[in-house]
Amino acid sequence: MGYIEETGAAQHMRDARIAAIYEGTNGIQAIDLVQRKLPLSGGDAVRREFASMRATVEQLRVNNTAAFGAMAVRLTEALDALEHATQFIIDALKNAPDDALAGATPYLRLFGLARGGTALADTALAAHRLAADGDSDPAHADRINTARFFAENIVTAAGGLEMTVVAGAASIHAAKFAVAI
């Protein structure tokens, strides 16, 4: 028996055990982002990343094609949420480090949404340029549609994640005591 057996129950056990490992890894990455990466070079590294993302959104606005839908608007909202949450985390690291750590995992997700959305937007912009230059590859429309879908359906979670980062610490601290009882 071991890793393979006939009923399938062992797979459920393995899946349940690996989920905790995945979540722990995400938590470690979130803590690393908050405690080590954000303060890197006095915050210059993250500011450069934000500038790069803002430049992509500005290119979306300049192109202003209907195929992009509300990508620029949704990504702007996500970047605003990310920058607000980032400022909260930076301030909390100085004054209330436990609050910064309480928001680390949703902050990592928020950063991933904003960066993922702008990376897909870069791909959509490139596909749009190629199509405008006469490249007839049908995959260009798919790349644009994928980026638009992500921006209009997935990135919209950014505002909720921002709220969790900025205002969720108190409930986490309270729950910690409730569970300890």
Q: Using an 8 Å Cβ cutoff, are 35 and 57 in contact? A: no
- The confidence score (pLDDT) of residue 20 equals 64
Q: How confident is the model at residue 176 (pLDDT cuts 50, 70, 90)?
A: low
Per-residue pLDDT, averaged over 157-176, amounts to 91
Catalytic residue among 5, 6, 23, 162: 23
- The confidence score (pLDDT) of residue 8 equals 65
Catalytic status, residue 23:
yes
Q: Which of these, 35, 58, 38, lies nearest to 49 by C-alpha position? A: 38
DSSP-assigned letters across all residues of 5-49: -SSSHHHHHHHHHHHHHHHHHHHHHHHHIIIIITTGGGGHHHHHH
- The confidence score (pLDDT) of residue 4 equals 57
CA–CA separation, 132 and 128 (whole Å): 6
Choose the most confident range, by mean pLDDT, from 26-30, 40-44, 46-50: 46-50
Specify the range with the lowest mean pLDDT, choosing from 5-19, 25-39, 145-159. Answer: 5-19
Q: What is the H or E stretch that residue 70 is in?
A: none
- pLDDT digits 0-9 by tens, 55-103: 999 999 999 899 999 999 999 999 999 999 999 999 999 999 999 999 9
> pLDDT averaged over the chain?
89
Q: Using an 8 Å Cβ cutoff, are 147 and 123 in contact? A: yes
- pLDDT digits 0-9 by tens, 1-26: 455 556 666 666 667 667 666 667 88
pTM assigned to the model: 0.84
- The confidence score (pLDDT) of residue 86 equals 96
Residue-range domain boundaries for the chain: 9-180
What is the token pair recorded at 4? 């393979």
Specify the range with the lowest mean pLDDT, choosing from 5-9, 92-96, 110-114, 122-126. Answer: 5-9
CA–CA separation, 118 and 173 (whole Å): 33
- The confidence score (pLDDT) of residue 22 equals 65
